[in-house]
Amino acid sequence: LAKTTQPISMDSYEGQEVNITCSHNNIATNDYITWYQQFPSQGPRFIIQGYKTKVTNEVASLFIPADRKSSTLSLPRVSLSDTAVYYCLVGSYNQGGKLIFGQGTELSVKP
């Protein structure tokens, strides 16, 4: 099972771009990289998912280098409402159903 490592916390200001990097050195060939956002006392919410290179949706971008041993979640022009904990998760059905969340990154956006 791939273990993930993320910074415990990050600070930013409104309007800035935020990049959160996740390290997953033992990622398996079939594994996908998924990022979730969690607000206090709520369930995590899916943000974005990718296998390689770059993925972009309406809320974020995900950059995955060729060796796939890390990934970077990019949040453009953050606002106060982006203050949350962000989790990186690595896994796939082909590797079984056991999934291990990392400690998450607590992002604090200031005015």
Interacting residues toward other proteins by CB under 8 A: 30, 32, 34, 36, 41-46, 49, 51, 87, 89, 91-94, 96-104
Tokens of 36: 């979730």
Query: Taking the complex as a whole, how short is the minimal distance between the CB of residue 89 and other proteins, in angstroms?
Result: 8
Cβ proximity to other proteins: between 16 and 95 the closer is 95
- The beta strands (E) that lie in the chain are given as 9-13, 18-23, 32-38, 45-50, 53-56, 61-64, 70-75, 84-91, 105-110
Cβ proximity to other proteins: between 102 and 109 the closer is 102
Query: Taking the complex as a whole, how short is the minimal distance between the CB of residue 25 and other proteins, in angstroms?
Result: 19
From 55, 57, 5, 60, select the one nearest 27 (Cα to Cα): 5
